Structure 1
Amino acid sequence: MRMLKIFIAYDVNYRIVLAEKQPADSQQTYLCTSCDSALILCNAPNENPCFSHDLSTTSVEQLRGCTYYDPEVKSNERLAKLRHMVQTLPPVVPTKHWHCSWCDGMHTGAKHCKRCHTDIYCQPIQSDA
């Protein structure tokens, strides 16, 4: 699960702390400002200090709801869900037969009634195909 780096967090008293101001060997508990999950202070050499989510103690559902969840991954998940929804839709069957309730006429083709020159009163006639 890809999460973005976090540079600001809460301490256990819900005070805002910056990653760069924390000692490298700190064992303090930090919390995410978005989802209240546990964070780990990362002090890698040649990189700015940052916080990252403790993936072992936080549920996947909670991480997916966090604002620091990688937007690219979130976008790909939404796209996959949308594709699945589109694939399960029934095919579109165009309406060919219409009944005009204004003039009580029946016609085929376009929805527009040629007899009374309106289309607001035209209702589709379902075929038994």
Structure 2
Amino acid sequence: MMKCYLATDREGHFVTAEAAMSATDQIWSCASCDCRLVLHGGIPADPAWFEHDQRSVAEHVLMNCAHLDPQVKADTRHNQLRRMVSGLDVPVRALSWYCTWCDNHYQGGKLCTQCGTGIYSIEEANWQANYNRAVL
């Protein structure tokens, strides 16, 4: 999670991390995901900031927060896509065809050697399955 510098208080008012340093006994929430925040005091080189209390919120809530590191979101989307793609069947290119128009069996691209079109052609494997079903 990236540092955030703006939070909401119990009353729903926006408060900067610098202004929050003077408040005591206050509960801070993220303006994006409403997660509880922890205030960290700053140093001159690094001003005060809020950190998400990641143990108090579900992961799917943090994944939708505007303060989530963009690289983490990108990695998560990439992993989801990888899982989806790995579950797909690998397409097999058909090289044997049957033209239903001119009753021609042929090999290669989907272009009948007799009628010169592929619009009436089906895969040879589909023709054989239908032919075997009709014979039985």
- Shorter-chain TM range is 0.7 to 0.9
The equivalent of 1:6 in structure 2 is 4
The equivalent of 2:57 in structure 1 is 58
The equivalent of 1:81 in structure 2 is 80
The equivalent of 1:29 in structure 2 is 27
Deviations 1:49-106 (A, max 9, x none): 2211112211222212222222212222222333333333333321112233444433
Task: Answer yes or no: is 1:116 the counterpart of 2:127.
Answer: no
Sequence identity of aligned pairs in percent? 33
Distance 2:22 2:55 in 1: 21
Q: In 2, are the aligned partners of 1:24 and 1:43 still within 8 Å (CA)?
A: no
Larger Rg: 2
Q: CA RMSD in A?
A: 2.4
Amino acid at match of 2:55: S
- 1:37 offset after TM fit, Å? 0.8
Which range is displaced more, 30-39 or 102-111?
Answer: 102-111
Task: Answer yes or no: is 1:49 the counterpart of 2:63.
Answer: no
TM-score (norm 1): 0.77
Decide which structure has greater helix share: 2
Amino acid at match of 1:88: G
TM-score (norm 2): 0.74
Which consecutive residues of structure 2, in runs of 5 or more, have no partner in the other structure?
129-136
Q: Secondary structure at the match of 2:71?
A: helix
Which consecutive residues of structure 1, in runs of 5 or more, have no partner in the other structure?
none
Task: State the aligned residue count.
Answer: 126
Q: Secondary structure at the match of 1:56?
A: helix
